[in-house]
């Protein structure tokens, strides 16, 4: 595909409870929704537990990419919260009490401010705060990584704030669309020649094919589509739909895109 100069976005979703099945992740779907609404898309997602060495390694790898990454979970003050410490270790930086975070925490708790609560404002040196509209306990950012709590009611408004204050200039800038159709009763093997021809004729766009065998009352079908520059996607899809019609397949636009 042609080079896309829009920075890549990623997500790191942290917590043993997700890997054990005690809780079901909801962050991925929301991140996809928030990015799509702004003409952006997700390039990667990683799930990792609360084991600090593995988390340190994950963050080292993530910082090295230069991507814009949202990290969910593990920034509290309980013994099983390791994200702040792991981020500092991954960057080789000391942990320090951020003055703005300290002010927010003291304003929130007043005379009930404790050293344990202040720990929630201890970040890798050089971090900036992310406002938390729910309970005023900030998250933090450093090196284009944005660390928010695991609680959706806090995390999602914080991610929106980051997207709309730090990266508004990227909204709807990429020439990128996704379009697909549902081809009923089709099998991939019968359409490979068409897919290969489209792939060769439109090298700056990407074809995708997602087959379904049906089941539970559903019908066998293929979701066949293109993603990439709008003009090329439109031209390729016109050829695809004309050809599957010529071959006698019933099809309809995929409503999910």
φ/ψ of 13, rounded to 5, equals -120, 120
Taking 70 as the pLDDT cut, the residues of the chain under it are 1-4, 256-257
Q: What is the pLDDT of residue 216?
A: 73
Q: What's the pLDDT score for residue 256?
A: 64
Quote the pLDDT of residue 93. Answer: 98
Could you tell me whether strands 122-124 and 95-97 are parallel, antiparallel, or unpaired per DSSP bridges?
antiparallel
Would residue 66 be called left, alpha or beta, if left means φ above 0 and alpha means ψ between -120 and 50 degrees?
A: left
Cα gap 115→99, rounded to integer Å: 14
Q: Say what the pLDDT of residue 2 is.
A: 44
User: What are the sequence ranges of the domains in the chain?
Assistant: 9-170, 177-253
Architecture of the structural domain at 177-253: 2-Layer Sandwich (3.30)
Q: Give the predicted TM-score (pTM) of the model.
A: 0.86
Domain 9-170 fold: Molybdenum Cofactor Biosythetic Enzyme; Chain A (3.40.980)
What would the pLDDT profile of 26-47 be if each residue is shown by its tens digit?
A: 999 999 999 999 999 999 999 9
């Amino acid at each position: 595909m042609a080079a896309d100069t829009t920075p890549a976005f990623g997500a790191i979703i942290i917590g043993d409870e997700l890997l054990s099945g005690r809780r079901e992740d909801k962050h991925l779907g929301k991140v996809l929704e928030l990015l799509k609404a702004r003409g952006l898309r997700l390039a990667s997602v990683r799930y990792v537990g609360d084991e600090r060495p593995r988390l340190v390694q994950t963050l080292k790898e993530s910082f090295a990419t230069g991507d814009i990454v949202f990290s969910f979970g593990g920034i509290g003050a309980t013994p099983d919260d390791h994200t702040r410490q792991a981020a500092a270790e991954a960057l080789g930086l000391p942990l320090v009490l951020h003055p703005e975070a300290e002010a927010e925490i003291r304003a929130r708790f007043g005379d009930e401010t404790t050293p344990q609560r202040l720990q929630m404002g201890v970040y890798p040196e050089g971090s900036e705060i992310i406002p938390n509209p729910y309970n005023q306990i900030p998250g933090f950012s450093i090196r284009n990584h944005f660390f928010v709590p695991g609680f959706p009611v806090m995390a999602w408004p914080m991610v929106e704030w980051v997207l709309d204050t730090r990266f508004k200039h990227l909204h709807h800038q990429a020439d990128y669309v996704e379009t697909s159709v549902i081809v009923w009763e089709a099998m991939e093997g019968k359409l490979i020649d068409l897919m290969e021809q489209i792939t060769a004729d439109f090298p700056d766009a990407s074809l995708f094919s997602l087959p379904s065998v049906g089941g539970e009352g559903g019908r066998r079908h293929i979701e066949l589509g293109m993603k990439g520059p709008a003009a090329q996607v439109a031209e390729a899809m016109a050829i695809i739909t004309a050809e599957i019609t010529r071959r006698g397949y019933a099809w309809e636009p995929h409503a999910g895109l």
